[in-house]
Every structure is written in C-alpha cells, then in structure tokens.
Amino acid sequence: MISILRTPSLRVVRPTHGSAVVSSTPETAVPDERRRALAILLLVLPIFGQTFYYLLELPVPYFLSKAWPFLMLPLSIYALFVFELPYKAVFALLLAYAMGLSPLLGMLYFGNGFVDSLTTTVKIWSFTYYFAFAAMLAWLRPRPATIARAFVILGALTYITMWLLWIFAPADWYGSDPAKGKLLMFEYERGNRIYMPMFFGMIFLFYLTRRFCRNWEWWVGLLIPAIFASQMIIYKQRISILAAVIVVYAIVISSTRGTLRRFLVACGLLAASGIIAVVSGPIALEFADSLGGSLSVRMVSFATATEFLGSDPLRWLFGVGATTRFSSITLAEIFNNPNFYLADLGWLGVVFEYGLVGALLVVGVYLGGLLFTWQTARLDGTPLVRALADYMFFLFLTSTVYSFVFTPGELGTILAVAAYLRSQGPHPWVPSPLAVDTVQQRTGRTWITHARPRQYGRDSETGSP
C-alpha cells in the first residue's frame, strides 16, 4: 500500500468560462495517458526486474542495469521518507546492515580496498527498487489493467525471443565460459541452451495457469504445456523448471474441489514418492552423474565456503564479506577455484557474505513480501496479482540453490506493484491512500499541482483513473 504522509492530495480541475472550477478529466486525454503509462512500464519493468543484470552480451542494457539503482536513488530516497510502505523498516534495516558492515568485513578478511568494498554492495542496492518503483507507480498512476498488460506482453516476449534465438542463433555463438556470457551456453550434459532471464516468463506461466483455472479457456490450456516444453527444450534450468511445476501443481490443486482434487493429490503423492526413490535409492548415483558438472562444482564450492567459515562463531554470525570480479583479488583467486560463485550456494552463500544476522534480515524481507502479496491476492483475486504471489512462492522454492540476493530487484518490483494495487482497491493497507491527479488548462497542457488536503477514510474512493 502506497500512502503519502504529511503531503496534500492532488486533484483534477479544469477552468471554465465562468468563475466556478469543475472537476473533470478530458476524455481524449485518458487513452493517451494509458498508452504513455504502458510504454513507460514496458521500458522500465525489465530494468527493475533485472532482466539484463547478468547479460554481458548486451553491454548497453547491462551497464544501464548496473547503474539503475544509483539513477533511481532520488526516487528511492523520496519514497523512503514520504510513502508509508509495508515492511519499510525491515528493508531499511537490511540495507543499512548490508551496506555498512559487510564491506568492512570484506576489507578485514580479504584485504579489499575501500572502492572494492563499496563495489561488493552493488547487488544489495537492487533492494531499493522497492522504493523507487513504488514512487514511479505513484507518478504514473497506471490502471491495474495496464500493469497486467505490461507483464503479459513482457512474459510473451520472453518466450518469443527465446525461440527466435534458438532458431536463428548460429552454433558458434554458444560458449561454455560464463565469465564471457551467460545467455547462450553450451554444456556437455545439456548441450546448447539459452539461459533466458525468466522473471516475466515465469509470472506469465503462473498468470496463464490462474486464468485457465478461473475461466477454463481452451487456448490458455494449450499454452501452458507449450511453455513447459519451451523451458525443457531451450531453457533447461532444472531446478527452476521443477519449482515451476510445483507452483503450477499447487495452483491447480487450490482451484479444484471434490473428487478431482483428491485424484490430483494422489497423483502428486505418487510423483513425490518417485522423486524420493530416485534421490535416495540405488539409482541415486546415476542421477547425480546425470547432473554433471553443475552438481560437482556446487559441492566443491560448498565445502570451500564451509571450511573458510570454520569454527569461528563471529564469521558465522556476521559473515565475512565478499569480492567482485572487478576487485584486485577475487574469491576465485583466493580459493584457487575459477567456478567459486556465492550465488550458486543458495543460503550458504548468503550466510558466507552476510552471516546469520544478515540471512535473517533477508528472510524477513522476503517472508514479508510473500505474506503481503498473498494477502493482496486474496483481496484482489485477479490472475496477475495471484501470479505475483505465486512467483514469491517460486522464489522460496528455488532459494536452496539460487541465492535470495542474486536478483533482489524481482522482490522489490513485485512488492511495489502489490502495494500500489492494494492502494487502489477497497481494502488499503493503511487508511490514507495516495491520490495523484492533474490540472487541465485551456491550452490542453497538464502538470502536477497541489490542491487543498482532503481526508480519506478506509472505504473512500480509490479507484484507478
């Protein structure tokens, strides 16, 4: 829920030929404003969702994504001090801890210089997207349908782009060195694959599932298995695909009743029994061999990180900091392991860098985001909002392998959207929702202006324009 504190509300007024001032919105201006809001969302959502954050192959959006937290810093500061946002204090505490203590520990344990230590905080800065995107939504004032349309378009474009690359990208574009690029990868076990950023792709999958369970549209039912086929043929990220299957299965189970639900639960139990038999039975070694190098690399990195933390309780409690690939000396060089990446260690990677204290703060913001989006989804009920809550569940399922601080901008984006949509509904989080409108002059130009304060009750009008 987004709410402005100690600021006057804003309204729409249009000067008339008489002395009276009448509230109105020009009919021709509404479609233009909606198209403008959609265009801006399509441009900025991929940056806030960290779509290009690890794509070295695309230098311009890659460096823009790295610089985005600093470019959005004025919006973040404004929202932090002006808006009443859910779990704002927990986010602020996490940012203060991670940006204050962890760089100092990196200087102590790894000999980082001052600039290198500050550079290690770059990935944490993406948590500020929560505040920055909330401020941008308050400025744009898009309709809920416009936000849903933007997510759907970006989700569909994810799979269209993935298939176009799969069909037309030549074989020599694929590489096996992630330091040179992660989009087009070649691995001995999986062959060529496209490591597509799937933030919007997964939300699109969950959106379609929610929509199918609500409306039972046949064409939506055909798209869902087609998306899973695309992921298995091209994406080939096993943990993500398995987590997506679990989320979709949970959506279907929660949307059914009676005999059908009991049948689906029985099928799920049989499938779970089969998975347990695979990972614990005599074929467990063969299954581990099928995972190839990714499993062995993670096991070596896990042992290295655990050994470095050792038996020192301070290291486990507060962490030891980290380095970056731009540092004068990197973790890969320190541990003599070119494939040592904290992002591949899941929760151990978080504890290694930020300690148990930092890990608890990270869990706090993600758990708060999960609870708030689920509550908003129950109140809203639209497929998009439910899909956003489903994606939060998806993040928890994959957190054992993929660190919560790998792409924290996803959390910030989802929570900002949920807070904004909650503010537009009949059940706002706090009783003073944001009201932003424009003033229309005879010339037709518009700008933001302040009007006299108005008091809003809990059930006051908060509909979108």
Assess contact for 402 and 118: CB atoms under 8 A: no
pLDDT of amino acid 1: 58
Give the tens place of pLDDT for each residue, 9-32: 333 333 334 444 344 445 555 677
Environment class of 147 (CB within 10 Å of its CB; exposed 0-12, middle 13-18, buried 19+) = buried
Is 140 a residue whose pLDDT tops 60?
A: yes
Distance CA 11, CA 436 (A): 6
- Report the phi/psi class of residue 444: left, alpha or beta, with left for phi > 0 and alpha for psi in -120 to 50: left
Q: Where do the structural domains in the chain lie, given as residue ranges?
A: 28-255+292-447
Q: How far, in Å, CA of 324 to CA of 348, rounded? A: 18
DSSP state of 173: G
Q: What does the alpha-carbon distance between residue 239 and residue 222 come to, in Å, rounded to a whole number?
A: 23
Q: Are 298 and 291 in contact (CB under 8 A)?
A: no
| Beta partners for residue 194, in sequence order | 184
Return the H-helix or E-strand segment holding 446: strand 446-447
Write the single-letter amino acid at 176: S
pLDDT at 450 over 60: no
Q: Specify the higher pLDDT residue, 283 or 143.
A: 143
At 317, is the pLDDT very low, low, confident or very high (cuts 50, 70, 90)? very high
* Residue 370 clears pLDDT 90, i.e. is over it: yes
94 pLDDT band (50/70/90 cuts)? very high
pLDDT (tens digit, 9 = 90+) per residue, 44-64?
999 999 999 989 889 999 999
C-alpha R_g of the chain: 24
Alpha-carbon distances of 451 from 17, 245, 371, 437, rounded to whole Å: 20, 50, 35, 10
pLDDT at 300: 79
Model confidence band, residue 444 (pLDDT cutoffs 50, 70, 90): very low
pLDDT of residue 367: 94
Q: What is the mean pLDDT of residues 273-285?
A: 61
How confident is the model at residue 410, as a pLDDT? Answer: 95
Q: To the nearest 5 percent, what fractions of the chain are helix, strand and coil?
A: 65, 5, 30
State the chain's mean pLDDT as an integer. 80
Q: Would you state the structure tokens that stand for residue 235, as one six-digit string?
A: 């994406």
Lowest pLDDT segment from 128-132, 194-198, 376-380, 459-463? 459-463
Q: Which segment of 79-93, 324-338, 386-400 scores lowest on mean pLDDT?
A: 324-338
Angle at 188 between CA 186 and CA 191, to 5 degrees: 50
Residue 13: exposure state from Cβ atoms within 10 A (0-12, 13-18, ≥19): middle
Nearest to 343 by CA among 294, 387, 310, 394: 294
User: What is the C-alpha separation between 126 and 132, in angstroms, rounded?
Assistant: 10
pLDDT band at 433 (very low <50, low <70, confident <90, very high): very low
Give the C-alpha separation, 426 to 459, whole Å: 6
| Predicted confidence band of residue 281 (pLDDT cuts 50, 70, 90) | low
Q: How far is CA 43 from CA 38, 151, 154, in A?
A: 9, 11, 10
pTM of structure: 0.82
Q: pLDDT, tens digit, for every residue of 212-257?
A: 998 888 899 999 999 999 999 999 898 899 999 999 999 999 888 7
The CA-based angle 164-344-229, given to 5 degrees, is 30
